[in-house]
Amino acid sequence: MEEKLIYDIEICAVIFGADKSLLNLDIGNGFEFRKMSMNPNIDKLDKIFETDAMGLRREYEAAKIDDNLDLICIYKSYSNEFVKKEVSDEFEKIANNTLRYLDDKIRGIRLLIE
């Protein structure tokens, strides 16, 4: 039997052009809209995006929703068990399926809100 390991998976994407009304929206599949801070000491976005405070500001300044450096993000965190030698392929599948799912949901939101 092949060795299986449990992996923690964290998905986070910054939404540009968003406002706090998205926080009340349920998009399913375990995803939620969250208000998160660019301040590294609060929500640890610097760790999630593997950058520093200046990198967060440089990349996401245009997405902030207030003067407190808050952003709206889509977020999901969970654990899953994979066969060790298949992890790379499994993560690629998860990434592709996640991007497709979120793209469809965001397009639907934009269609209905605009």
Residue 41 is predicted with a pLDDT of 87
Q: What distance in Å separates the CA atoms of residue 88 and residue 17, rounded to the nearest whole number?
A: 33
* pLDDT tens string 44-64: 999 999 999 999 999 999 999
Predicted confidence band of residue 111 (pLDDT cuts 50, 70, 90): confident
- Residue 114 pLDDT > 60: no
Mapped onto helix, strand or coil, the DSSP state of residue 15 is strand
6 in Cβ contact with 80 (< 8 Å): yes
User: What's residue 72's pLDDT?
Assistant: 96
pTM comes to 0.84
Segment 69-96 mean pLDDT: 93
> What's the rounded Cα separation, in Å, for the pair 109 and 114?
8
**Two tokens at 106?**
């965001």
pLDDT at 85 over 90: no
In this predicted structure, what is the pLDDT of residue 58?
96
Tell me if 76 sits within 8 A of 11, measured CB to CB. Answer: yes
Each domain of the chain, given as residue ranges in start order, spans 4-113
Give the C-alpha separation, 103 to 87, whole Å: 24
